Amino acid sequence: MFRTLLLSALLLGGAGAAQAEEPADFPDTESCLKAARSDSARRACIGVSAKACRAALPNPNPLDKALCINAETEWWQDQLALAYDRMMKHAATLDARHLDMIARGAPRLTDDLVEIQDAWKDWTEWRCTFDSMLLRGEPRRMVVVADCMLQQTAGQTLLLERGANYHR
């Protein structure tokens, strides 16, 4: 619970401060992903909208930068929910194909997926909290934490999307 509160405080820090413009549909990230033809090209799309947001701001301060990153992270969180749903459907299909193995004690992929996602959430929280602890007292702390959340969320989204499309 403490980690969640700490990360929230860091990421929302100055709620009364000037907020960065939030792109509504994230065209930079979306077009990058549509053009990407490999996993590495898709990973290179992480952060392109946040970068464009920061570039559009005159003299952005750390809070402005973090808000740009957080806006893209929220977009990736929506994509993550969709990817998780697709992966869960794919896992259920695979489980149905292997009911005989499951009846003999093999784990259900759907159960494993729930556990993996829960573990990922905990890991991400700990990972990004670690980054924040290293930068105590530094203004760029919130930018580093926001970027950690972006990287972790987008990376998990891409992983689940790849899994949902595996063996199709």
Which band of pLDDT confidence, cut at 50, 70 and 90, is reported for residue 83? very high
Which band of pLDDT confidence, cut at 50, 70 and 90, is reported for residue 168? low
Q: How far is the C-alpha of 154 from the C-alpha of 143, rounded, in Å?
A: 16
Give the CA dihedral 143, 144, 147, 149, nearest 10 degrees: -110
Q: Is the pTM value of this prediction over 0.95? A: no
More confident residue, 6 or 26: 26
Amino acid at 64: D
